[in-house]
Amino acid sequence: MRRAGLRMRVTAGFASGALALSTLMAGVSYQLTRTSLLAERERAAVRATYFDAAVVHGGLDTPDPDIGNILRSLDTGGTRRALLRRDGTWYARTADANITSAIPGLMQRQVEHGEPSMQRVRSDRHAALVVGVPLSQDTWFYEVHSLEELDQTLKLLALVLTAVAIMVAAGGATLGWYAARYATRPLRSVADAAQRIADGDLTARLDPTPDPDLTRLTTSFNDMVSQLSRRMEADRRFAADVSHELRSPLQTLAAAASVLARRTPQLDQRTATAAGLVTDEVARFQSLVNDLLELARSDQSADRGLVGIAGLARQACQAYHLPEDLIIADSDDEPWWVDHRRVRQILGNLLDNAIKYGDGPTAIRLLATGEDYVIEVEDHGPGVDPEDRDIIFDRFGRGRAARARGAGAGAGLGLAIVAQHASAHGGRVTVHDRSDGGARFRVELPRQAP
């Protein structure tokens, strides 16, 4: 299972902390309130029972009292019921058969021993409080106080406290979410900066922060990027300097080789072969140096202008002696806002690649979608192995088809230049399989307002 993100974990931590705390608080408040309300209720019940007992006691003092009437004269309201036991007989205000069963036997014995007593019971599934008072040797007075109202109050209280606990937990979660977001904000800006750097913007840096906790991160990050860009710049400059320094001797070689080539017929077999090798290799060396210099210019962004893409593709076809009907262009001949030189090289290098390793191109598609300008070159060759799909766009990276050609193949810079030109436009190049065999190279160049 994927591990939850930092933000999620912080949020969950805050939420469970808040929930635990609020549950504890709610539990304690509930208990305290309940105890205090019950005590209050008990005191009131005892008071009322004693008062009623005094009334009943007074009524019983008369000769031949009507116990039913005496009990009925009590102002008990709806919340308590009075009972009298005299000479082993139960008397009640109403004919309620079950009511005597509400009084526990243990309590009866206690009261019959002359001890006033009080006990909480459950009668008819309702909480009740029974208070018993001995009136004389053989007369005992009981009152059953309903605790239903108190019960409902406590239930409501429990409900409110539960709701509060849940809300506090939700509040904790929200707080955690925002706290995590706030705390990870520097991480996000680091991630953004890293992304910009990965996209080729080596000037991206983190803004300096006054926060002492973040200064170290910011400083080290910026130092790292500066060092990285210095090193890349040094590499680039080295490649450029090397290639540049090679140009002068190459010019001499190229001119001298052409003098040799012109005289090949007058040379003996061995010398002519050697001269041919020199001439061919000088030409290859020349294109290699040109490609290296092109790659060394990686820092320059695309110099966009309006380009008639169909005409450019036709010229590319002419240059490689390909039929122009390979080109499949959008119906509208809208010019593209791209770097002329780079797009020309993209077309040229893709065609060159298709000719060398793909048995020749079968289609050149030019599309302008809502977001991108798209160039696709399709071929009928063996396609590109999945494991080669990234390698072929690396400098000097050659796929299986190129390796198979050995020394006769290119140096593996052509597609790297295509990738570089695409990324100078903020775009990319990808290679796909065609359903009927062969490869499709697709270059996407994001549109930009002129």
Sites of contact with other proteins (CB under 8 A): 244, 247-256, 258-259, 262, 283, 286, 289, 293, 303, 306, 308, 311-312, 315-316, 318-319, 335, 340-341, 344
CA-nearest of 149, 112, 113, 116 to 131 is: 116
Between 127 and 283, name the residue whose CB sits nearer to other proteins: 283
Minimum Å gap between C-beta 198 and other proteins is 27
Minimum Å gap between C-beta 258 and other proteins is 4
Minimum Å gap between C-beta 332 and other proteins is 13
Minimum Å gap between C-beta 311 and other proteins is 6
Between 130 and 296, name the residue whose CB sits nearer to other proteins: 296
Minimum Å gap between C-beta 263 and other proteins is 8
* C-alpha of 133 from chain center: 70
Between 101 and 287, name the residue whose CB sits nearer to other proteins: 287
Three-state SS string over the chain comes to: CCCCCHHHHHHHHHHHHHHHHHHHHHHHHHHHHHHHHHHHHHHHHHHHHHHHHHHHHHHHCCCCCCHHHHHHHCCCCCCEEEEEEECCEEEECCCCCCHHHHCCHHHHHHHHCCCCEEEEEEECCEEEEEEEEECCCCEEEEEEEECHHHHHHHHHHHHHHHHHHHHHHHHHHHHHHHHHHHHHHHHHHHHHHHHHHHCCCCCCCCCCCCCHHHHHHHHHHHHHHHHHHHHHHHHHHHHHHHHHHHHHHHHHHHHHHHHHHHCHHHCCHHHHHHHHHHHHHHHHHHHHHHHHHHHHCCCCCCCCEEECHHHHHHHHHHHCCCCHHHEEECCCCCCEEECHHHHHHHHHHHHHHHHHHCCCEEEEEEEECCCEEEEEEEECCCCCCHHHCCHHHCCCCCCHHHHHCHHHCCCCCHHHHHHHHHHHCCCEEEEEECCCCCEEEEEEEECCCC
Minimum Å gap between C-beta 393 and other proteins is 24
Between 299 and 385, name the residue whose CB sits nearer to other proteins: 299
* C-alpha of 276 from chain center: 62
Between 156 and 259, name the residue whose CB sits nearer to other proteins: 259
Between 80 and 304, name the residue whose CB sits nearer to other proteins: 304
Between 258 and 369, name the residue whose CB sits nearer to other proteins: 258
Between 208 and 249, name the residue whose CB sits nearer to other proteins: 249
Minimum Å gap between C-beta 435 and other proteins is 33
* C-alpha of 183 from chain center: 16
Between 69 and 251, name the residue whose CB sits nearer to other proteins: 251
Minimum Å gap between C-beta 450 and other proteins is 9
Minimum Å gap between C-beta 384 and other proteins is 27
